[in-house]
Amino acid sequence: AQSVTQLDSQVPVFEEAPVELRCNYSSSVSVYLFWYVQYPNQGLQLLLKYLSGSTLVESINGFEAEFNKSQTSFHLRKPSVHISDTAEYFCAVSDGGSNYKLTFGKGTLLTVNP
């Protein structure tokens, strides 16, 4: 069975500050890892994903995450956040089997203050 732990339920930061949202997973098999973002009153959107290859993956809006197999982590980072980054962020894991079934963490609410 797989599980995902997001260590922080809420992260408040000031605009232009760096941020890290932490995610750890447990799985007995190789995994695919995802970060989804949920803006207020909207559905979840894929932010970035790790399937294979380079352990550092980036999104189009400046976020990046690094897959660390030894620490079973996939932390999300951004060097300088904007007000518009305020949202809930979910880390998810899939075993990459034919079903691509996702197991989600509980989410981290990122609040960017002016």
Provide the token pair at 23.
């995610």
Question: Which residues have CB under 8 Å from 79's CB, separation 6+?
Answer: 18, 62
Binding to another protein (CB under 8 A) within 21-80 occurs at: 32, 34, 36, 41-46, 49, 51
Closer of 70 and 99 to another protein (Cβ): 99
In 3D space, the residue among 94, 89, 93 whose CA is nearest the CA of residue 36 turns out to be: 89
CB of 21 to another protein, least distance (A): 13
Binding site for another protein (CB under 8 A): 4, 9, 32, 34, 36, 41-46, 49, 51, 90, 92, 94, 96, 98-107
